[in-house]
Amino acid sequence: MRRLLAFWLIVLAGGLSVVRGQAEPNLRLIVERDRALTIYVAAGQPVNLTGLTLRYLDSFRTVQTVAVTDGFDVLRLTGGLASPGACFIYQQTGTDPVLPGICSQPLMVYKRQITQADVFWYDFTANRQRDILILSNDSFTTICPAGTADCPITYIPPTNTPAPSDTPVP
């Protein structure tokens, strides 16, 4: 237990770059036990999910990272841009989870079927949900503690700074 606490303190201390005072959360992470994890776009405008990663400790206490844009073809096609009201659902194959009530627009629901071995939000060995760190380009955003069914997230997409280039001389 002390090792786990030490891990989270190191992660938080090493990557803490939280912007305080941001208005409303623009994402929600919703977990239905071991059956599904949903990322809901709660913002009133599109959100760029490029750089959004979920970090957790697996059963062997190894840090693992899931890049959200890698899991959904639609995010690759849109360059990571997610529309307001969109639901991105990681669903364990063979289960029939209840669709969160906020995911009421069928054309905005994107599912990814994954095997039990790839269910990253639930530890089947310990029979409990895992803590999930939310990161923006490896910078800490927030933590969704185990046992939290609905976790609000104020996600600040990374900004891309163009590389400097030589100014042509006339």
Higher pLDDT, 121 or 10: 121
Residue 3 clears pLDDT 60, i.e. is over it: no
User: pLDDT digit string (tens) for 108-161?
Assistant: 999 999 999 999 999 999 999 999 999 999 999 999 999 999 999 999 987 765
How do residues 111-122 score in pLDDT, each as one tens digit? Answer: 999 999 999 999
For residues 82 and 41, give the distance between their C-alpha atoms in angstroms, rounded to a whole number: 7
Separation CA 56–CA 131 (nearest Å): 6
Quickly name the fold that domain 23-147 has: Immunoglobulin-like (2.60.40)
Strand (E) or helix (H) holding 67: strand 63-67
Place of tokens 């989870």: 97
Q: Which two tokens stand for residue 66?
A: 């899931």
Q: Given a cut of 90, is residue 85 above it in pLDDT?
A: yes
Short-list 31, 44, 128, 130, CA closest to 84: 44
Q: How far apart are CA 125 and CA 85, in angstroms?
A: 34
Residues in the chain: 170
Phi then psi dihedrals of residue 85, to 5 deg: 85, -5
Domain spans of the chain, in order of start = 23-147
Which amino acid appears at position 2 of this protein?
A: R
